[in-house]
Amino acid sequence: GAVVSQHPSRVICKSGTSVKIECRSLDFQATTMFWYRQFPKQSLMLMATSNEGSKATYEQGVEKDKFLINHASLTLSTLTVTSAHPEDSSFYICSASSGLAGGLQETQYFGPGTRLLVL
């Protein structure tokens, strides 16, 4: 149980184009989904937290107009990198949580990640 998928697994795009990454919880309802970015040999950097049906909460320094997040259903969240540039090249990982427990997020289940390369 608790499987999260991401699509695509790898994407190469030209500078200036937009790229959409999908994150799906396959066997549970994810009330909260998270989007992370990871650079080589570095830890996961939280970009934003999204709850189903409401606007995402972005971390400080993350441009909300550049990284559009939609969490339209309990099993799907999307991250769109708009007007991508080479510096946006990175490994993007989503995770999903089934809910709150006493105000805290319980275990996050991660997707396999999406490698984005912007030329």
User: What residue type is assigned to position 63 of the chain?
Assistant: E
Interface with another protein (CB under 8 A), residue from 31, 71, 79, 111: 111
Candidates 58, 108, 116, 118: give the one binding another protein (CB under 8 A). Answer: 108
Q: Considering the complex, what minimum distance in angstroms separates the CB of residue 83 from another protein?
A: 26
> Which residue stretch of 14-22, 43-51, 66-74, 77-85 sits at the interface with another protein (rule: CB under 8 A)?
43-51
58 makes contact with another protein (CB under 8 A): no
φ/ψ of 5, rounded to 5, equals -115, 155
Q: Distance (Å, rounded) from C-alpha 109 to C-alpha 93?
A: 11
Instruction: Work out whether strand 90-97 and strand 32-38 pair parallel, antiparallel, or are unpaired.
Output: antiparallel
Q: Are 71 and 50 in contact (CB under 8 A)?
A: yes
Residue nearer to another protein on the CB measure, 17 or 51: 51
